[in-house]
Structures are given as structure tokens and as C-alpha cells.
Amino acid sequence: MNTGHRPGVQERNPYRLTTEAQPATNLSSLSISKTATETRLIENTAPVLASLGYELVDIEVVERQNGIIRIVIGNLPGAEMIGVDDCEKAHRELGPLFDVWDPMPYAYTLELSSPGENPPMRTIEHFRAACGGQIKFQTLEPYPMPPPAKARKNWQVDLIDVGDDGVILVKDTLGEHRIPIGQIRSASRLQEWKP
């Protein structure tokens, strides 16, 4: 059995994630758009976190020299808030797996955090939980607006409804707008703090 390197043939590590530039994809129409690398990391990371009793809220990958992989974890319903100990526990479990998965061809920092004051939203369930409140998001492409307003990508609106088809109904000073979750690049829930 010949196991030597063959000239002109690139060996493929089955544990290595694809890092070549690829268009954003969505896991389904029921989640926001993610890159191919983010999608594969979500698929690999979510079950590991679930086995520890955590929810994978979001993953953001900054692909560059000295890249960053940001993982936001939350507790499952009924559990206490995420603390530093939870992030350390998840990091200890995920760190060796990321060494095997090797998601970037260069050095990167693996960051874990709690959802924070304005938690990110990725899935239709996250949007449903934010219904009736304010959200902030960015679409993949500029969204046409009624004249004289210009098309826009950045939104801060009231979330009115979330359809089973993954389309959200939002309202701002220009009226109501329907936007598919799959056309959203990033989103967060704006918490309303009362004294």
C-alpha cells in the first residue's frame, strides 16, 4: 500500500473545514445567512454544546491572518445565566475539537461568550422570542424602500411577526416590511432596560 504524497495531487484532510472563499449560504430558510465555514462549524459545534447543556446561539468567523472564531453560547430554558465558568467549560471541550477540525489555514483565536445585553439572533426561534420588541439587523443586499427613501441594508425596527415560512414582518417610520430571514447577514435583539 503506497501512502506517499503524489505530485500534483492535493491531499484532503477529512476533518478540515473548507476555508476557500465561498458565497454565504443559509442552513435553511429558517436561519440567517452564514458562510460555508460558519455553517459547517455550526453543524459540528451545536451537538457538542448541547451535550454540555448549552445552546449554540451563534458563530461568527473572521477569516483573515490571525482570524477569529466567535462562539456565543446560551443556557437551555430553565437554567441560570451563562457565566465565565460556563464559557471556560465549553472552551475546554471545543478547543481540542477545533484543533482536529482545523477550520482555517492560519492562526486564529477561539472566543466564547454569553449572549450579552443585545443577544445575537440566528434561528427562527430566536426571532420568535424577540417578537413584540426591537431588533437590529443587516440584510445581504440593499432592500428597496418607498421613494424618496433610498434602499438600505441596516435596520433598527419593531419585530411584529415571524411566519412559519421564515419571513419576518417588521415596522418602522416608513411602514411595514417583509424580509426573509435567509436574506439577513446578522441580527440582534435590542433589550429594553427599565429602572
For the stretch 50-98, pLDDT in tens is 999 999 999 999 988 889 999 999 987 767 789 999 999 999 999 999 9
Distance of CA 113 to the CA centre of its chain: 13
Model confidence pTM above 0.95? no
Asked whether the beta carbons of 114 and 183 are under 8 A apart, the reply is no
Whether residue 183 lies inside any domain: the answer is yes
Asked whether the beta carbons of 31 and 120 are under 8 A apart, the reply is no
Residue 1 has pLDDT above 50, yes or no: no
Residue 137 has pLDDT above 90, yes or no: yes
Last residue of a domain, one of 67, 91, 113: 113
Residues 161 and 108 in one domain: no
Residues 143 and 107 in one domain: no
Residues 50 and 70 in one domain: yes
19-49 confidence digits (pLDDT tens): 333 344 444 568 999 999 999 999 999 999 9
Q: What is the mean pLDDT of the chain?
A: 85
Residues 63 and 100 in one domain: yes
Whether residue 14 lies inside any domain: the answer is no
Instruction: Name the band, by pLDDT with cuts 50, 70 and 90, for residue 168.
Output: very high
Q: Please, what is the end-to-end C-alpha distance for the chain in angstroms?
A: 72
Residues 94 and 29 in one domain: yes
Whether residue 135 lies inside any domain: the answer is yes
